[in-house]
Amino acid sequence: MNIESKTTGHTKTELGPMLSVRRGASAIDFYKRAFGAEELFRVEDEGGEVVARLSVDGAQFWLADESPSHANFSPETLGGGSVRMVLTVADPDTVFERAVSAGATVISPVSDQPYGWRVGRIVDPFGHHWEIGKPLGDCS
């Protein structure tokens, strides 16, 4: 997707994942509670299905209700997903616990890893896996 810059009038290239979910409105509420997401854009039809663009401290992603007619399937339908979201934050322990308190399930708790990261992994109520962490020391 390309976004036109308001200052230069030029198109800026961005890459933003789109998460397919069941219960899109509930997913938006979860991401707000779990990660402090801000809703930047939202379209909702009469049936309650949504497409939305969210931001977590400037890191943007999209979500949409699954739509088999558009080959858009959620991890719940597929029995899992092939992509993990990596959320790099200053305080992974706090963000991780906030996500768990909001309804995420722990896959692996936050801990220091030998490859130079402090990271933990959760699965959200919609089947998407998130690694929440930060580099330790000078690793990036």
Structural tokens at position 10: 């030029």
Distance CA 140, CA 135 (A): 6
Spatial neighbors of 59 by CB under 8 A, at least 6 apart, are: 87
Q: Is the pLDDT of residue 6 over 60?
A: no
The pLDDT value recorded for residue 68 is 93
The pLDDT value recorded for residue 12 is 84
Q: What is the CATH superfamily name and number for domain 8-135?
A: 2,3-Dihydroxybiphenyl 1,2-Dioxygenase, domain 1 (3.10.180.10)
pLDDT digits (tens, 9 = 90+) for 37-76: 999 999 999 999 999 999 999 999 999 999 999 999 999 9
Mean pLDDT of the chain: 92
pLDDT digits (tens, 9 = 90+) for 119-131: 999 999 999 999 9
Q: What share of the chain is helix, strand, coil (3-state, %, to 5)?
A: 20, 45, 35
Domain ranges for the chain, please list them: 8-135
Q: Is the pLDDT of residue 9 over 80?
A: no
pLDDT (mean) for 22-47: 97
The pLDDT value recorded for residue 11 is 83
CB crowding 23-33: b at 16 or more within 10 Å, else e: bbeebbebbee
pTM for the whole structure:
0.87
Q: Is the pLDDT of residue 134 over 60?
A: yes
The pLDDT value recorded for residue 138 is 60
